A and B are shown apart, each in its own frame.
Chain A
Amino acid sequence: MASRLLRVCGTLRALRRPPCPWPGGIPSNEKQATGLERKVMQDMEKGQDPYNILQPKRYPKEDPNLVPSISSKRIVGCICEEDNSCVIWFWLHKGEPQHCPSCGAHYKMVPHHLPH
């Protein structure tokens, strides 16, 4: 009871107090964010995304997924989105990049030789 009364007094005092350190009186996220929210904010400012918040790399035609293979074709299984249980299977042939029929991600074969 007494603690609740003290808290009410604190709230009223916060009204009468002159404007706080921040211009205008309302803090920015930069000043007040804490915990994981702050960590995410700081990482984003550095251009990092360690918690995978943004969409992953899309693999356009100009920057395809490079798939090594020792023969002229290889089966590719595309898991279009994280945790998808339906894997899109297709043959990837040597030469021009191909794209997944479901999500459009591009794959290009990189021929390799078996060491012997």
Chain B
Amino acid sequence: MAHQTHAYHMVDPSPWPLTGAAAALLMTSGLAMWFHYNSMLLLTLGLLIMLLTMFQWWRDIVREGTFQGHHTPPVQKGLRYGMILFITSEVFFFIGFFWAFYHSSLAPTPELGGYWPPTGITPLNPFEVPLLNTAVLLASGVTVTWAHHGLMETNRSQTIQALTLTILLGLYFTALQTMEYYEAPFTIADSVYGSTFFVATGFHGLHVIIGSTFLIVCLLRQIKFHFTSTHHFGFEAAAWYWHFVDVVWLFLYVSIYWWGS
């Protein structure tokens, strides 16, 4: 049997890219069906197939790396570059929404009364729940770093406790933000204020949920002894993503909640 003479991973054929593309097609066409023909069938099917694809694709990566040993140092380096590039693309995604906010708020139009916040809008007090949310996310940044050090220092119980605490803080943030959304005196339909507020904070909230899910997967893998003290890139990627989510919140808080009030 011929063996490779390089340290890279030539992946086996996989159906998940195809199912992922199928899910993307179903979700986009499903969105159109939902908008125009009052049917959520295609959309739901698309979402289901997307979730199945994500679960199975990433499960396969865990199998290839942890159980089959394909993640040599060069392969890990590539994964690091990949995660950094992905997070960078997400940064630019948020830059767009901050651009929209600053464009609208630095020169408020006559339709808004020439003011920001616009006439009639009562913004949320930045020193109430939003400040608590800031503290929660900052604390979660500390706990995830604590978990990382526990992992590097082969301290299983501390790693599991710190990671669990991080996840609980993340869930607490989501719960608080959900309550804020429900109780807010303005809606997404309330002029460009509502649009910029809910689209920017809404996408951030989605990223918090994604980040929390990633951390939960890491917790399950850590419990099942997948990570070693020197090789735990999945955890590092989750921690990077979580710090990114935290930084985005800080910008949101300062720009929209504080300056924007």
Contact = CB atoms under 8 A, between A and B. Distances in A.
Nearest to B227: A26
A13 to B, nearest CB: 10
A52 B70 contact: no
B228 A28 contact: yes
Interface stretch (A31-39, A56-64, A65-73, A84-92): A31-39
Contacts of A101: none
Interface range, A side: 20 to 34
Interface stretch (B106-114, B124-132, B155-163): B155-163
B146 to A, nearest CB: 14
Nearest to A20: B225
A32 B228 contact: yes
A28 B153 contact: no
Interface range, B side: 20 to 34
Interface in B216-250: 220, 223-225, 227-231
B67 interface: yes
Contact of A35 (B68, B151, B154, B159): B68
Nearest to B222: A26
Contacts of A15: 160, 223
A13 B179 CA distance: 35
Interface of A: 11, 14-15, 19-20, 22-29, 31-40, 50-53
The 9 A-B pairs of least Cβ separation, nearest first, read A35-B69, A25-B156, A24-B154, A34-B69, A51-B7, A37-B69, A26-B154, A29-B228, A29-B230
